[in-house]
């Protein structure tokens, strides 16, 4: 178990072996969450600060649980209720947090590049928990772990990502990681929600859902990022659901054992029907479970945890 980098800001610069190494470490941590005593002593005496400048349910709780299961001391900081509301800047905020000597800072922020900005200015290791439209590396890692566990491999699979590609940091991190590991990636969404020249990321583009899903092994719906949409990129939720919403009839076009994913939070009836989201083809809650193991692996590797204290 080793990772030569100080920070995890993005998956774009990682080599395939580095991504696989994190997934392998996460496999080892999955079992800890299923024990009666869900704790290993590997990060005893280390401090992790979780800084959330944007709302979160899954990522925030998942990091906190992961850190506690590694025996780290964890502190949660959110911009609401902090001195950010009195006008303190991001830089001043992180400099003050650094003065308390954390070992790892996990940061979610609405500005693309914010995690790298912080990483360049603090001594602690930094984990990007989502920075604007840029990347959400631990989400993509947990998606890859979920796919690998369901399908036994990543290489050679066809993965279709449907929805708001332009505003999605989840899509960007997944595209980088999936293509590096040899998956064929198709993206599909309304033309207003596809980034210009998206093909340059090594993906195929389909504007019709039926064509995008045909023969796919994995179909991933994305949340419409209403907080990041410009003016009126979408006619209505109803129209979106009609042309780009996932349902059982759409999934019938995919490969026979295709799985359905969504990073959450779900807009039920818009991006995916409840019927499909709650079906046996859905691995949405597996994604959440695997997220804890992935975050344990990432924090463990960055904080230099003791391998002999991981079981």
SS (H, E, C) 97-158: HHCCCCCEEEEEECCCCHHHHHHCCCCCEEEEEEECCCCCHHHHHHHHHHHHHHHCCCCCCE
How far is Cα 152 from Cα 163, in angstroms, rounded to an integer? Answer: 26
Q: Which stretch binds ligand CP (CB under 6 A): 55-63, 99-107, 148-156, 171-179?
A: 55-63
**What is the signed CA dihedral for 215, 220, 223, 228, rounded to 10 degrees?**
-90
Measured between alpha carbons, how far is residue 270 from residues 133, 163, 310 in Å?
Answer: 21, 10, 42
- As measured in angstroms, the least distance from the Cβ of 142 to ligand CP is 9
Query: x-or-dash pattern for ligand CP, window 265-284, by CB under 6 A?
Result: x-------------------
Which CB sits closer to ligand CP, 64 or 217? 64
Q: Residue 163, interface with ligand CP (CB under 6 A)?
A: no
Q: Residue 263, interface with ligand CP (CB under 6 A)?
A: yes
Cα–chain center distance at 216: 21
How far is Cα 15 from Cα 44, in angstroms, rounded to an integer? Answer: 30
Which CB sits closer to ligand CP, 103 or 143? 143
Which CB sits closer to ligand CP, 44 or 58? 58
Interacting residue with ligand CP among 57, 83, 96, 274 (CB under 6 A) = 57
Hey, which residues between 122 and 141 contact ligand CP (CB under 6 A)?
A: 130, 139
Q: Residue 228, interface with ligand CP (CB under 6 A)?
A: no
- As measured in angstroms, the least distance from the Cβ of 59 to ligand CP is 3
Edge-to-edge strand order for the sheet containing 47-52? Answer: 73-78, 47-52, 104-109, 125-131
Which CB sits closer to ligand CP, 131 or 217? 131
Contacts of 311 (CB under 8 A, 6+ apart): 40
Q: Which stretch binds ligand CP (CB under 6 A): 28-36, 53-61, 80-88, 278-286?
A: 53-61
Q: What is the largest CA-CA distance in the chain?
A: 56
Interacting residue with ligand CP among 42, 47, 59, 93 (CB under 6 A) = 59
Which CB sits closer to ligand CP, 40 or 293? 293
Which CB sits closer to ligand CP, 56 or 82? 56
Q: Which stretch binds ligand CP (CB under 6 A): 6-14, 29-37, 58-66, 267-275?
A: 58-66
Q: Residue 78, interface with ligand CP (CB under 6 A)?
A: no
How far is Cα 234 from Cα 226, in angstroms, rounded to an integer? Answer: 10
Containing H/E element for 260? strand 259-261
Containing H/E element for 148? helix 137-151
- As measured in angstroms, the least distance from the Cβ of 4 to ligand CP is 26
SS (H, E, C) 168-183: CHHHHHHHHHHHHCCC
Q: Which stretch binds ligand CP (CB under 6 A): 17-25, 92-100, 201-209, 260-268?
A: 260-268
Which CB sits closer to ligand CP, 67 or 305? 67
Binding site for ligand CP (CB under 6 A): 56-60, 130, 139, 263-265
């Amino acid at each position: 178990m080793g990772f030569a980098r100080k920070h995890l800001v993005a998956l774009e610069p990682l080599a395939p072996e580095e991504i696989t190494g994190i997934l392998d470490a996460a496999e080892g941590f999955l079992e800890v969450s299923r024990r009666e005593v869900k704790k290993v002593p590997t990060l005893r005496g280390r401090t992790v600060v979780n800084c959330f400048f944007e709302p979160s349910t899954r990522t925030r709780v998942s990091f906190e649980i992961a850190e506690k299961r590694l025996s780290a001391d964890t502190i949660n900081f959110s911009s609401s209720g902090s001195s950010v509301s009195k006008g303190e800047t991001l830089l001043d905020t992180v400099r003050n947090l650094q003065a308390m000597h954390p070992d790892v800072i996990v940061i979610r922020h609405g500005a693309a590049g914010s995690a790298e900005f912080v990483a360049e200015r603090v001594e602690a290791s930094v984990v990007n928990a989502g920075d604007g439209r840029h990347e959400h590396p631990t989400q993509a890692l947990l998606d890859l772990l979920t796919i690998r566990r369901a399908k036994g491999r990543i290489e050679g699979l066809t993965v279709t990502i449907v929805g708001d590609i332009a505003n999605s940091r989840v899509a960007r991190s997944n595209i980088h990681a999936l293509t590096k590991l040899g998956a064929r990636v198709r993206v599909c969404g309304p033309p207003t929600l596809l980034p210009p020249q998206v093909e340059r990321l090594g993906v195929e583009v389909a504007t019709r859902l039926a064509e995008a899903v045909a023969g796919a092994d994995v179909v991933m719906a994305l949340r419409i990022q209403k907080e990041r949409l410009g003016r009126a990129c979408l006619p209505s939720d109803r129209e979106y659901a009609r042309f780009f919403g996932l349902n059982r009839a759409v999934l019938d076009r995919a490969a026979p054992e295709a799985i359905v994913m969504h990073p959450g939070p779900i807009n039920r009836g818009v991006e995916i029907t409840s019927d499909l989201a709650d079906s046996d083809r859905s691995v949405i809650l597996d994604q959440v479970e695997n997220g804890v193991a992935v975050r344990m692996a990432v924090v463990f590797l960055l904080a230099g945890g003791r391998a002999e204290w991981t079981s």
